[in-house]
Amino acid sequence: MRIARGIAIVIATLFAGTAARADSVVVTHWGSAFYGAPYAVAMAKGFFKQQGLDISGITSGAGGGTSVRNTLAGDLPFGEVAIAASVQAINHGEPLVMVAGGTDTVGDILWIAKKGSPLHAFTDLKGKRVGFTAPGSVTNMVLLMALQNHHWDRTAFQMVPAGDIGANLTAVLNGAVDTAMTGEPIWSENEDKLQPVFWAKDEAGDRITQNVCITTREFAASKEGAAKLRALLIARRDGVRYVYAHPDEAADITAKAFTGDATLYRKVFQHFVALHYWDEGSFDYQGMNRMMEGLRILGQMSGDVDWAKMVDTSFLPSDVKPNM
C-alpha cells in the first residue's frame, strides 16, 4: 500500500550526481496539532539537510493505528505516532521498534462542548456521546484512564471515534457528539463558541507519554536505515532545541507550515514551552508505563511491558538520555 502522494509534499531533487526522490516522514495530526513543530523547524532551518537528508514533506495521520499504518507504508519508514497504537501494533506482530520519545505530557488536551452546553465536568458525561480521535490513540487511553479513576465502566457513556482534531470539532459543532477532544490551536481559534468540559491532565494525570518515534526493524537493521535514523533524530533534536531557544520564530515557521495564524501560534508556543511539551527524544519510562494503563483497561494487554523488546536507544544522539 502506497501513501497517497497528495498528502505529502514530495519534491524531486538531485543528490550525489544522481536523480533521487525526496523523502517524507509521518507525524500524527500534522497540520492540526503541534507534535510536528520540531519537524517544521528542522525543514525550514535546514537541520535535515545538515545531516545529509532530503526531507521535504510530512505525511499526516488521524491518530492511533492510522499513523502507524502510514509509517509502515512509507518509502522512508519513520513516524512520530501514538505510543499506545505502537505497542498494540508490535503486540500484534508488526515488525516495528521505538527509537525515540516524543511528547511526555497531556497538558495540551481537553474535551470541549458548544458554549451553553450543560456539560462542565467529566462527571457530567454519563449517557453522553464522547468523541475522541481513533482506537488505540492517546485520547482513547485518556478516556479509559478517566473512567477507571471514577470507577465507571465503559458503558457509562458512548465513545465515538470521530477522526482527527478538526473532525472532532465539527462533530461537536454539528451535534454528532456531545463533547469531543481538542487541543491547540483549534481550542484558542474557536474559544468564542466552545466551552471546556475537562482537561486530560486533571482526569488522567499530566506525566503521560503521548508519542514515540518508530521505524521498521528491517530499516533499523540496514546500514542505510541506521544512518538515516541517527540523522533524523539529530535533526529532530535540533528542531526541539530551536523551538525552546526561539519560540516566536518557531511559532512563525510552524504557522507557515500549517497555514495558521502566527500571532495565535506565538501565544500557544509560550504555553507549550512552559509545559516542556517537546522532548529531545529521551524515553520517559514512567510516562510510558502510565499510558499502558489504558491498554490494560481496554483488555489489549496484561502485565508489564518489556520495553527492552520494543525500544532501541542506539539511534539516539549521544547527549539524549532516558528519563526514568
CA-closest candidate to residue 129, choices 85, 74, 180:
180
Q: Give pLDDT, residue 294.
A: 80
Cα dihedral 120, 121, 126, 131 in deg (nearest 10): 80
Q: Supply 165's cell numbers.
A: 482534531
Q: Which range among 35-39, 68-72, 74-78, 178-182 shows the weakest confidence by mean pLDDT?
A: 68-72
Q: Report all structural domains of the chain as residue ranges with CATH numbers, in order of start.
A: 12-105+209-315 (3.40.190.10), 110-204 (3.40.190.10)
Q: What is the DSSP string of 190-241?
A: TGGGEEEEEEHHHHH-S----EEEEEEHHHHHSHHHHHHHHHHHHHHHHHHH
**H/E run at residue 145:** helix 138-149
Cα 121 to chain centroid, rounded: 25
Close Cβ partners of 86 (under 8 Å, ≥ 6 residues apart): 68, 96, 98, 212, 214, 310
Alpha helices, DSSP H, located in 45-99: 47-50, 65-73, 83-91
Instruction: Look at residue 58 in the predicted model and tell me its pLDDT.
Output: 82
Q: How far apart are CA 95 and CA 83, in angstroms?
A: 15
pLDDT score at 16 = 35
The model's pLDDT over 275-303, given as tens digits with 9 standing for 90+, comes to 999 999 999 999 999 988 888 887 778 88
* Dist. CA 152–CA 102, nearest whole Å: 30
Mean pLDDT taken over the chain: 87
Q: Is the pLDDT of residue 3 over 80?
A: no
* Cell numbers found for residue 268: 500557544
Res 62: pLDDT: 55
pLDDT at 2: 37
Cell, residue 285? 519510562
Q: For residues 139 and 194, what is the distance between their CA atoms, to the nearest angstrom?
A: 19
Rounded mean pLDDT of 238-264? 97
Confidence of residue 70 (pLDDT cuts 50, 70, 90): low
Mean pLDDT of 239-247: 98
Measured distance CA(208)–CA(98) in Å, rounded: 16
Q: Please tell me the distance from the alpha carbon of residue 124 to that of residue 196, in angstroms, as a whole number.
A: 12
Q: Where does the pLDDT of residue 57 fall: very low under 50, low under 70, confident under 90, or very high at 90 and above?
A: confident
For the chain, give the percent of residues with pLDDT over 70: 88
